[in-house]
């Protein structure tokens, strides 16, 4: 069963990545890109939803200037009309990017509008705990995502308890908010694959 879930996750990621890389977009958005090498997470307050206009729409958020130097670590659908990307910078940091389905281009490919982003600590070897795998007080919380530390024994680690950070996604308010890691763990979706 876990193999099927993992293979399904890989197929979903590849199809999302493929659809994001088709087409192109332009846009210039002022983003707070100060270095953040601590576990204190910084909201990009300049990326308010009201300030994002039609010109800031793209087939992938990595086409937008603030994220164009990043590499995509992963992407996932969230809610009905949202997408979450994790874009890694060259240092020990990354962005969690929330975008909303805005429209479709003439070929039917989705166009996304930036709604929020958060710069996070993301050291080499870290992995992403996507919504649906993050557990808070023994209950899966589908609005949380996490960053897990590097783990050489990832195949045999069923649950990660020492998370590097946790964020609450809110589709209604279109926000990403850091929360405490206390009483939060993450299920390893690759546990027991081999």
pLDDT digits (tens, 9 = 90+) for 73-125: 999 999 889 999 999 987 799 999 999 998 888 888 888 899 999 999 999 88
Phi/psi of residue 35, each to 5°?
-65, 140
Binning pLDDT at 50, 70 and 90, where does residue 9 land?
Answer: very low
Instruction: Return d(Cα 141, Cα 136) in angstroms, integer.
Output: 6
SS3 string, 74-129, reads EEEEECCCEEEEEEECCCCEEEEEEEEEEEECCCCCEEEEEEEEEEEECCCCCEEE
Give mean pLDDT, residues 34-44: 34
Tens of pLDDT, residue by residue over 156-175, are 788 889 999 999 999 999 99
Sequence-distant (6+) residues with CB within 8 A of 77 are: 12, 16, 83, 84
Give mean pLDDT, residues 16-33: 34
Sequence-distant (6+) residues with CB within 8 A of 75 are: 13, 16, 17, 20, 83, 84, 85, 86
Within 13 Å and on the Cβ side, how many CA atoms surround 125?
Answer: 6
More confident residue, 153 or 63: 63
Provide the pLDDT for residue 193.
64
With tokens 């070929």, the residue in question is 107
Is residue 31 scored above 80 in pLDDT?
no
Query: Which of 53-57, 92-96, 102-106, 185-189 shows the lowest mean pLDDT across its residues?
Result: 53-57
Whether residue 42 contacts residue 73, with contact meaning beta carbons closer than 8 Å, is answered with no
């Amino acid at each position: 069963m876990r193999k099927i879930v993992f293979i399904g996750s890989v197929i979903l990621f590849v199809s999302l990545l493929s659809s994001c890389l088709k087409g192109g977009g332009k846009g210039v958005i002022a983003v707070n890109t100060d270095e953040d090498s601590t576990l204190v997470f910084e909201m990009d307050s300049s990326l308010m939803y009201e300030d994002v206009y039609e010109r800031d729409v793209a087939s992938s958020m990595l086409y937008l200037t603030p994220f164009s130097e990043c590499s995509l670590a992963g992407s996932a659908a969230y809610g009905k009309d949202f997408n979450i990307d994790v874009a890694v910078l060259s240092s020990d940091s990354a962005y969690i990017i929330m975008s909303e389905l805005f429209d479709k281009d003439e070929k039917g490919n989705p166009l996304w509008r930036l709604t929020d982003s958060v710069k996070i600590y993301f050291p080499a070897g870290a992995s992403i705990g996507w919504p649906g795998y993050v557990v808070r007080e023994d209950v899966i919380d589908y609005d949380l995502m996490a960053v897990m530390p590097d783990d050489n024994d990832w195949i045999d680690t069923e649950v990660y308890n020492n998370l590097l950070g946790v964020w609450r996604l809110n589709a209604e308010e279109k926000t990403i908010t850091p929360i405490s890691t206390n009483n939060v763990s993450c299920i390893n979706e690759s546990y027991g694959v081999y």
